């Protein structure tokens, strides 16, 4: 999921969180696919940002993400709990990458 | 370095909460009345349209996991309870700032949501009472970071610079630059708002756990939730490091690594969006 400004929204993107207008009405349900009309209506309703699905093109390679993981956990190499936690996350990253998610 | 008393005063004046103290004191009076109904309180909040929309937006941010969006304040009152709605009412203005400052605080909102989600999952796994309150503490655990950015922009810039230069935790940079941390700053504001200790403590001590402190169990949940969200790479908490899990907190929670695995699976993963340093 990522949060974008309405002006950056593109037709075809999928909204992942309900969008509310300034009058408190729910304008879009999660799962709605944006159209050009919807986008211009949203800005008319005063909506500034939306949460949309990340498109796959932005997913970084698994090696790079594992390197980041190592960097985040740096300094905790001797800590048993942190080592186990890192293993859990790394395994989930690899599984996710394997299934093409 | 700034004087601590002056800093606290500046924090306590934070944000455009002009309408809020009035409505909250009114709500508190209503809450104390024996005949108070969720409907009556909901109607009171709903009178302030802007506020009502903000609260509903928060309620529907995803961390409570309701299948259909909550569309009225009354519904939120019934499902989440008064303390949670009150906290959301109060923090709505702070979260506004978060949205406004999406340049210098990029990723903090996602990190906060991830922590709320993790806190909710941990509390659920342990069958703890009032998981909604624990989730909202997770959502607001880094409130102090927002306040520092808004009220102390110069120091905030210095903190950012220190984190980048030394690749340290933001909290260490805060201590160096301000002499206090986002935990202190968050606590000052929450106390000023008279939120109950059961909500204030888990936020104020999420990085400084002590087993004999009140609400140690909730504090331990928020502490671990923050670490899990960081470990998974959900959002960006202001630094590229992770604080270690506190042993006392770990023992108190008594979770297995199978539990941790399940909880981590429920979190929005590092979907590959780049961290902003």
Residue of A nearest to B262 (CA): A88
CB–CB contact B247 A81 (8 Å): yes
Cβ contact B69–A18 (<8 Å): yes
Structure-derived torsion over alpha carbons of residues B211, B246, B272, A27, reported in degrees to the nearest 10: 0
| Average of per-residue pLDDT values in chain B | 84
Least confident of A3-17, A39-53, B19-33, B238-252: B19-33
CB contact (8 A) between residue B61 and residue A81:
no
Least CA distance to B106: which residue of chain A?
A3
B96-121 CB burial, b ≥16 within 10 A, e <16: ebbeebeeebebbbbbbbbbbbbbbb
Instruction: Categorize the per-residue pLDDT at B277 as very low, low, confident or very high, splitting at 50, 70 and 90.
Output: very low
Q: How many residues does chain B have?
A: 277
User: What pLDDT is stored for residue B20 in this prediction?
Assistant: 52
Give the angle subtended at the CA of B15 by the CAs of B11 and B18, to the nearest 5°.
120
pLDDT-based confidence at B47, cuts 50/70/90?
confident
Query: What whole-number distance in Å separates Cα of residue A87 and Cα of residue B260?
Result: 11
Interhelix angle B216-232/A62-72, rounded to 10 degrees, is: 140
What phi and psi values does residue B272 have, to the nearest 5 degrees?
100, -5
Q: What is the pLDDT of residue B268?
A: 60
Contact A92 B71 (CB under 8 A): no
In chain A, residues with a C-beta closer than 8 Å to the C-beta of B257 are 84-85, 88
Q: Which residue in A65, A71, A74 is closest to B270 by CB distance?
A: A65
Helix and strand numbers (H, E) in chain A are 3, 4
Interface mutation target, options A5, A67, A83, A89, chain B, most CBs of B under 10 Å: A89
- From B261's Cα to the closest Cα of chain A, the distance in A is 6
pLDDT tens-digit series, residues B51-71? 788 788 878 876 666 777 888
Which of B187, B205, B270 has its CA nearest to residue B236? B270
Which position has the token pair 């984190």? B163
The ipTM value here is: 0.80
Cα–Cα distance for residue pair B41/B28, rounded to 1 Å = 9
Task: Kindly list the distances between the CA atom of residue B78 and the CA atoms of B19, B39, B73, B210, B244, in Å, as whole numbers in the listed order.
Answer: 24, 9, 9, 33, 37
Residue B155 confidence (pLDDT) above 80: yes
């Amino acid at each position: 999921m990522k949060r974008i400004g309405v002006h950056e929204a593109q037709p075809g993107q999928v909204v992942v969180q309900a969008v509310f207008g300034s009058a408190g009405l729910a304008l879009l349900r999660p799962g709605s696919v944006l159209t050009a009309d919807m986008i211009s209506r949203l800005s008319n309703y005063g909506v500034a940002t939306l949460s949309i699905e990340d498109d796959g093109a932005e997913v970084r390679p698994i090696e790079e993400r594992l390197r980041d993981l190592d960097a985040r956990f740096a300094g905790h190499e001797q800590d048993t709990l942190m080592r186990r936690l890192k293993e859990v996350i790394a395994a989930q990253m690899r599984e996710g990458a394997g299934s093409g998610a | 370095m700034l004087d601590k008393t002056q800093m606290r005063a500046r924090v306590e004046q934070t944000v455009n909460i002009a309408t809020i103290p009035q409505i909250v004191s009114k709500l508190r009076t209503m809450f104390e009345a024996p005949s108070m109904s969720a409907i009556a309180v909901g109607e009171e909040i709903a009178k302030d349209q802007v506020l009502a929309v903000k609260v509903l937006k928060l309620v529907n941010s995803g961390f409570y996991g309701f299948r259909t969006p909550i569309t009225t304040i009354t519904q939120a009152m019934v499902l989440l309870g008064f303390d949670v709605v009150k906290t959301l009412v109060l923090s709505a203005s702070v979260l506004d700032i978060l949205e406004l400052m999406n340049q210098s605080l990029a990723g903090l909102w996602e990190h906060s949501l991830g922590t709320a989600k993790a806190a909710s999952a941990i509390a659920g796994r342990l069958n703890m009472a009032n998981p909604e309150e624990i989730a909202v503490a997770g959502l607001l655990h880094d409130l102090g970071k927002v306040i520092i950015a808004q009220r102390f922009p110069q120091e905030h810039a210095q903190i950012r610079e220190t984190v980048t230069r030394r690749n340290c935790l933001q909290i260490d940079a805060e201590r160096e630059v301000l002499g206090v941390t986002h935990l202190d700053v968050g606590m000052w504001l929450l106390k000023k708002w008279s939120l109950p200790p059961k909500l204030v403590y888990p936020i104020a001590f999420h990085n400084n756990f002590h087993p004999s402190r009140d609400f140690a169990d909730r504090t331990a949940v928020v502490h671990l939730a923050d670490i899990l969200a960081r470990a998974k790479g959900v959002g960006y908490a202001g630094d590229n490091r992770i604080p270690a899990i506190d042993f006392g907190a770990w023992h108190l929670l008594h979770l297995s690594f199978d539990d941790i695995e399940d909880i981590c699976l429920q979190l929005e993963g590092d979907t590959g969006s780049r961290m902003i340093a």
